Amino acid sequence: MDEKPAFRASVLPRLLSLPTLSLLIASLSLISSISQSFNYRKNIESVQQNVLRAENLKTCRDIIEAFFAFRLRAEEANSHAPLDKPAAEVARRDLKGLVYRFGALGTYLANFTPETARERYSALSWSLNEIAEQVAALPPAEFATKFAAADKAFGALNEDCAKSAQFAKFQ
């Protein structure tokens, strides 16, 4: 029994010496710093993902708005109301502007999707461009057929937007 107090008296001062205590505190500080860095990195990644997600959703909203604005103006231009040449040219130019806006937004969205989606976005933009070029001359049945195909392609684009609205990681 006499050995334990003697052991404590001889070993404890060596274990709790100033250099040992300094190394222990430095080690704990290092571990704390590593832990904080890890948490900081995870928080930054989370913020970046949320910013990307918000931008993606905003772009989805804008592209949907551009598509329906195009559709409304195209239906007006195809209503076969008599348009003089300057009015028809203004309508065509407005439609082309909406197609270009749609194409630009589609290109941005395609950066977050697989290659097949990029091809679908491009094909839809070209389809809308073709409709814009021919809108005043298209018979109503052909106009409806072309827009049915565009609506189907737009539905796939809208599905991509709906998927991105979920909390998925962007790669």
For residue 152, which amino acid is it? K
| Residue 145 domain flag | yes
| Residue 25 domain flag | no
- Cα separation, 36 vs 5, whole angstroms: 41
| Residue 69 domain flag | yes
Q: What is the pLDDT of residue 70?
A: 95
| Residue 3 domain flag | no
pLDDT digit string, tens, across residues 11-44: 666 667 778 888 889 999 999 999 999 999 999 9
Domain CATH number, residue 148: 1.20.120
DSSP conformation letters of 112-148: TS-HHHHHHHHHHHHHHHHHHHHTTTS-HHHHHHHHH
pLDDT digit string, tens, across residues 84-134: 778 888 888 999 999 999 999 988 888 877 788 888 889 999 999 999 988
99 and 125 Cβ atoms separated by less than 8 Å: yes
Instruction: Tell me: pLDDT of 45 over 60.
Output: yes
Q: What separation in angstroms does the CA of 31 have from each of 36, 66, 108? A: 9, 52, 42
Number of Cβ within a 10 Å radius of residue 144: 13
Question: DSSP character for 111?
Answer: T
pLDDT digit string, tens, across residues 138-164: 888 899 999 999 999 999 888 888 887
| Residue 83 domain flag | yes
Q: What is the pLDDT of residue 44?
A: 93
| Residue 154 domain flag | yes
Number of Cβ within a 10 Å radius of residue 68: 12
Residue 108 belongs to domain spanning: 52-164
| Residue 46 domain flag | no
- Cα separation, 156 vs 37, whole angstroms: 41
What's the whole-model pTM score?
0.72
| Residue 7 domain flag | no
Q: What is the pLDDT of residue 9?
A: 58
Q: Count up the domains in the chain and report the number.
A: 1
